[in-house]
Structure 1
Amino acid sequence: MKKQIVAMCVSAVLAAPALAQVQQGGEVSAAQMQEVLQQMQRLQDRVEELEARLAGQQQVEKEVEEEVEVVANAEQQEQSDGPRAEAVAPRKRINSNTALAARVERLEEDVESAENAPISIGGAVRAQYVWEDYNDGNKDRVGDFDFDLLRLDYSGSIGDVILSAQYRWFQYMESVQHAWVGYNFNENWQGQVGITKVPFGITPYNSNSYFFSSNFYVGLEDDHDAGVKLRYRDPEWDFDIAFFKNDEQGGVDGFVSNREDRYAYDPLGVRLAGEGIYDTPNVAVGESNSFAARVARKYALDDGQSFEWGLSGQFGKMNDGTDDVGDRSAVAVHGVYSVDRWTFMGQVSQYDYDMDMANNGIVVGAYAFYDTIPSKATLYTANIAYSMPVQFGPVSNLTFYNDYSLMTDKRGGGEDTVMNVLGVAVSAGGLYTYFDLVTAKNQPFIGGTMAGNATDYNTRFNINIGYYF
């Protein structure tokens, strides 16, 4: 035991110059290490050398070697002094070594805290080039190049509490994407409270492209609301159950300037007869007291293959600020198959807004404008992707993909919504760039709306360049 304590002391001393170089969040200062090291016997004279880092390393090592030799000689002398020495000397040594071990343990804990900053900050800056065949001015200019967004991400933990948040600034608005605190009950169970992702369908995204799938534009992909969620994860099962009090802006009477300024689509009103598709709704509504659940079964197959199937559901109330004026529900079944570098995704979803008043659809909002969706519809998605590692200058990976979305069986009839995105994503260090060729009809951001009746297809070529840090 005596030799083990000495070895721990030697290890702590030899590591000290490197520890003094820790310069990022939660650092262990020279003063803190000095306070710990001052209590080590016969090493007090070398604290200044430790503060001088590499300059004093050789001398410290020499002193440690002498210390080891002294302790070893003392042990040999005690063994030759007979029974009386063994009865007296060991108690003093044990007390000293126990205190030294405690100090070394404290030093190790301080170093661990220094090497693991509690909160990390990242983000992205993005810009994009757009060419649209349905926009005459844009076509005449051969497209436009614009700023897309600046975003900041916060993640990490303080004690046992986890934090995750993201805020985004666009040219025309700003919004929170998510903001929650959580707690890991054990290696499988985690709780989250705040603006957290609604568990539904293929996660994290039911798409590969910059444009998501058509599910996103009806609030069924990458949506975040305000509530509480419980998650379970193991190699074979995912399980999520959540309760959401309202959307991320506080519901129908939330204290916000513009309800349409948000990252993901939510229902914001009822579209009455005579209103335009993009008009501010005369009857405002919002999500209230919603429940959501998702379960997925995962299989790790041979030869680098994996498969997942899952079921999702959500239901809740629609409120006009005074009373509940309807119900909302959605269900989905999905599957994901991966083999080697290929990934195949498929999902079938259906949603339904059962409102108390006659309407021409549901008003949704995001990205600083209102839109209209049918009050009920079915959506199908089918995606394929191939990831190819490369070594071409800074480019390290190319992901080729084709994402297909179909929205049909719309309440009230009308033409289907169709969107196909053929593209490639390029990874090059901190740069991640989407090259997307989009062909669609009745699809937002491709010259249409989910409530449209167009029969012609539009085309958009989009390059989104993002630097992620």
Structure 2
Amino acid sequence: MLSSSVAFAQSDEERLQQLEERIQELEQEREQAEESEDGISLGGAVRFQYVLADYDEGQKNRGGDLQLDIFRLNLDGQINDVILSAEYRWFEYMEALRHAYFGYNFSDEWQGQVGIIIQPFGVMPYNSHNYFFNSTFYVGLEDNPGSGLLMKRRSDNWDLDFALILNDELGGATGDVRSRADSYNYNIVGIRLPGEGIYDDPEFTASENNTLMTRIARKWHFDDSMLELGVSGKFGDVDDGTASVGSQATWGIHSVYETGRWEFHAQYARYDYDLDIENEGIMVGAYAYYDTIPTAADVITANVAYSYPVEWGPVSQLQFYNNHSIITNKRGYEEDTWMNVLGMAVTAGGVFTYVDLVTAQNQPFINGSLAGESTGTQTRFNINFGYYF
């Protein structure tokens, strides 16, 4: 009996030792896996574009034009829990930084970012589904970078964003850049003086400065749907490089509803630049040219999209959408700006394609300007296709 008890005890000790060794092995594997997460990955895209516009007679006679859209590179990852994210874009006519920031996850829900961040406002990450965004993009209220600090919380029920934007991504009115028009999104570059043309280069330079932003969105989850309701605010200064020349305030309400394969967006925003000098609007710059926007306006958007999974060779998903936006109640300008984009996005392996039919009035990139007074509409058929890696 004694020898049998000793044998059982030895067997238990051996099993316990084996178990402890296995636990140590698993712990080492876990630590190695965590260490392997450190590193910066390189990605990017190469995109091309086919354009056929009814306002370009020569292009219509040629049957449209095919051209390079962009080549872009992305850096994303982390080293010792410090996050890096950056994206740079090259066009045939300019180059521009979209964003570049360091970040840190303070918890599972809270993240801080510093650098050139994406400003939090409205429906995010995009208030659109198409290649041209909505008209919100052209007044700096969609996917707009800025230099500053961001604290954000993401949970199942809440989105909370608090940001301080010191100036735009080009360094403000005195930024040391090649051209204030070479930027990814629309920045204030000056004040349009009486008698100037809407596309003239800036004579009176200015930029947004010391802007506080907040975005709060509440989400409700149901069996097969989700409702998000939110508010956003943006308040700050307008500076000419030496002193304040006015202030700016923007607020908005927004919603997202997802059910099954359907997605709906709705947003209303009002922006207002209160300037101390006589003017005919705000001068903005982007994509290598200068334009003008009213100093105040209402911006309304409504989007619907339907996603449909398929198995057609490399094609895995189709998304059909209609995005509509209008800018109205413009200070100093009578005619509205509006844009409607009816389109389809196609996912096929690493290739992503937008097929868009755009109808618009007084809309940039559709032969117009937000400061235009046209009463007619223009149409553009656009196919943008790119390989993402």
TM-score range (shorter-chain normalised) is over 0.9
Q: How does 1:54-93 map to 2 (within 5 A)?
A: 79=6
1:369 aligns with 2:289: yes
1:246 aligns with 2:167: yes
Amino acid at match of 2:176: F
Amino acid at match of 2:180: R
- Alignment partner for residue 388 of structure 1, among 298, 301, 308? 308
Q: Which moved more, 1:134-143 or 1:430-439?
A: 134-143
1:324 aligns with 2:251: no
In the alignment, the residues of structure 2 paired with residue 450 and residue 413 of structure 1 have an alpha-carbon distance, to the nearest angstrom, of: 9
Q: Tell me how many residue pairs correspond in the alignment.
A: 384
- Partner of 1:140, secondary structure, is helix
- Partner of 1:79, secondary structure, is helix
Structure 1 ranges of 4+ moved more than 4 A? 96-103
- Alignment partner for residue 273 of structure 1, among 180, 183, 194? 194
Q: Does the aligned pair in 2 maintain the 1:236–1:299 contact within 8 Å?
A: yes
1:289 aligns with 2:210: yes
1:356 aligns with 2:276: yes
- Alignment partner for residue 131 of structure 1, among 19, 39, 52? 52
Which digits, 9 at most, give the CA deviation of each residue in 1:402-438, with x for residues without a partner?
0001110000132000100000001101111000000
1:222 aligns with 2:143: yes
1:180 aligns with 2:101: yes
Q: Does the aligned pair in 2 maintain the 1:335–1:347 contact within 8 Å?
A: yes
- Partner of 1:252, secondary structure, is helix
Report the alpha carbon displacement of residue 116 of structure 1 after superposing the two structures with TM. Answer: 2.5
Amino acid at match of 2:321: Y
In the alignment, the residues of structure 2 paired with residue 116 and residue 411 of structure 1 have an alpha-carbon distance, to the nearest angstrom, of: 52
- Alignment partner for residue 158 of structure 2, among 237, 244, 260? 237
Report the alpha carbon displacement of residue 114 of structure 1 after superposing the two structures with TM. Answer: 6.1
- Partner of 1:284, secondary structure, is coil
TM-score norm. by structure 1 comes to 0.78
Q: Does the aligned pair in 1 maintain the 2:333–2:371 contact within 8 Å?
A: no
- Alignment partner for residue 39 of structure 2, among 100, 118, 121? 118
Q: Which has the higher relative contact order, 1 or 2, with Cα contacts under 8 A spaced 6 or more apart? A: 2
Amino acid at match of 1:184: N
Q: 1:423 corresponds to which residue?
A: 343
Q: 1:213 corresponds to which residue?
A: 134
Amino acid at match of 2:252: A
Which digits, 9 at most, give the CA deviation of each residue in 1:272-314, with x for residues without a partner?
1121111111100011111000000101012x11111100000
In the alignment, the residues of structure 1 paired with residue 6 and residue 229 of structure 2 have an alpha-carbon distance, to the nearest angstrom, of: 69
- Partner of 1:108, secondary structure, is helix
Q: Which moved more, 1:108-117 or 1:316-325?
A: 108-117
Report the alpha carbon displacement of residue 234 of structure 1 after superposing the two structures with TM. Answer: 1.2
1:308 aligns with 2:228: yes
Q: 2:110 corresponds to which residue?
A: 189
Report the alpha carbon displacement of residue 115 of structure 1 after superposing the two structures with TM. Answer: 4.2
Which segments of 5 or more consecutive residues in structure 2 lack a partner in the other structure? Answer: none
In the alignment, the residues of structure 2 paired with residue 99 and residue 123 of structure 1 have an alpha-carbon distance, to the nearest angstrom, of: 45
TM-score norm. by structure 2 comes to 0.94
Q: Does the aligned pair in 1 maintain the 2:310–2:317 contact within 8 Å?
A: yes
Which segments of 5 or more consecutive residues in structure 1 lack a partner in the other structure? Answer: 1-75
Q: Does the aligned pair in 2 maintain the 1:414–1:451 contact within 8 Å?
A: no
- Partner of 2:201, secondary structure, is coil
Report the alpha carbon displacement of residue 140 of structure 1 after superposing the two structures with TM. Answer: 1.3
Q: 1:33 corresponds to which residue?
A: none
- Partner of 1:154, secondary structure, is strand
Q: Does the aligned pair in 1 maintain the 2:272–2:296 contact within 8 Å?
A: yes
Amino acid at match of 1:337: Y
**Larger Rg over CA atoms:** 1
In the alignment, the residues of structure 2 paired with residue 162 and residue 268 of structure 1 have an alpha-carbon distance, to the nearest angstrom, of: 31
In the alignment, the residues of structure 2 paired with residue 394 and residue 109 of structure 1 have an alpha-carbon distance, to the nearest angstrom, of: 35
